[in-house]
């Protein structure tokens, strides 16, 4: 096996393990609230999505590839989907606003982190890439 293939397999294996951790920790974290002046502020869902984003960015920087970032997003989304589709008495992710932000936020954060990881890989910030590649006239 070539070194590139070994690195890719190692990156995917790390991404799967990291995604399982993020899905379980984020599912436990997303329902946390802070009572503030009689209003419950759901800080847990923001913290869970930040955990996902940081793990995905770490995977991209560690592996120097966007493949583990994508794998982590897909596996996290699949695991949380399984946790949310259990029977009514066994659901860990409810279909309310906070649960929907957690489930669909995984997809949104994963897309943003894929763009960030691709910019990290090219070594150019997004503004420099846009300035260097002007839009073509059609």
* pLDDT at 123 (0 to 100): 62
Instruction: Name the burial class of residue 102, with classes exposed (0-12), middle (13-18) and buried (19+) by CB atoms within 10 angstroms of its CB.
Output: buried
41, β-bridge pairs: 34
Is the pLDDT assigned to residue 75 strictly greater than 70? yes
What pLDDT does 125 receive?
Answer: 58
Residue 133 has pLDDT above 60, yes or no: no
pLDDT at 121 over 80: no
Q: Is the per-residue pLDDT at 100 higher than 80?
A: yes
Q: Which structure tokens are listed for 117?
A: 């990881």
Tokens of 125: 């910030």
pTM attached to this predicted model? 0.79
Question: Given pLDDT bands bounded at 50, 70 and 90, which one contains residue 74?
Answer: very high
Residue 17 has pLDDT above 90, yes or no: yes
What pLDDT, in 10s, does the model give residues 43-63? 999 999 999 999 999 999 888
Task: Give the residue with greater pLDDT, 86 vs 119.
Answer: 119
């Amino acid at each position: 096996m070539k070194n590139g293939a070994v690195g890719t397999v190692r990156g995917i294996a790390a991404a799967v393990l990291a995604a399982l951790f993020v899905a379980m920790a984020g599912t436990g974290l997303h329902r946390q609230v802070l009572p503030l002046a009689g209003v419950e502020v759901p800080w847990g869902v923001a913290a869970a999505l930040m955990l996902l984003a940081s793990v995905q960015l770490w995977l991209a920087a560690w592996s120097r590839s966007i493949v583990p970032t994508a794998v982590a997003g897909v596996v996290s989304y699949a695991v949380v989907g399984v946790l949310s589709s259990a029977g009514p008495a066994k659901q860990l992710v409810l279909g309310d606003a906070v649960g929907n932000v957690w489930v669909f936020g995984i997809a949104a954060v994963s897309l943003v982190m894929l763009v960030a990881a691709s910019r990290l890989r090219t070594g150019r910030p997004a503004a420099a890439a846009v300035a260097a590649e002007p839009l073509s006239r059609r």
